[in-house]
Amino acid sequence: MNDFRTGLLLELKLDGPVAVVGDIHGCADALDALLDKLGEMPVIVLGDLGDRGPGTRAVIDLLARRGAAGVRGNHDDWLIAWARGEGFDSFALHPVMGGRATLDSYGIKGASAGSIEAERWR
């Protein structure tokens, strides 16, 4: 299984129930409430942690503190590429994709598809 933060293979030894959660899409408040209900139960995420909802940064922080493992989705790949300095996929800024909410959660304002494309090809 891939660690969503590093892409490394992990071997998980689980004894008991496990929560499997996917498509969180920046909904940090809902995730926080769910984690409270789960107590100490291990969490495996199935990708798409960010975009659309306002709390992508908080979602990632919550899951990192929790030690969650999982696989990445396309929305996660976009964020990782941006964090590595590879640019932010302009398609992610399409209103349906919700990437602007992710950039907002990191305090990045004023990004447009045009400015991202210009940065990518600089």
Nearest Cα residue to 12 out of 22, 23, 4, 1: 1
Hey, how many other C-beta atoms are within 10 angstroms of the C-beta on 67?
9
| Residue 79: per-residue pLDDT | 79
| Residue 10: per-residue pLDDT | 66
Distance CA 58, CA 112 (A): 23
Instruction: Report pLDDT digits (tens) over 11-39.
Output: 777 889 999 999 999 999 999 999 999 99
pTM for this prediction = 0.72
Give, in order, the Cα–Cα distances in Å from 50 to each of 11, 14, 53, 92. Answer: 25, 26, 7, 11
Q: For the chain, which domains are there?
A: 19-120 (3.60.21.10)
33: Cβ–Cβ under 8 A, 6 or more apart, which residues?
A: none
Instruction: Report pLDDT digits (tens) over 60-93.
Output: 999 999 999 888 888 888 778 777 877 666 667 6
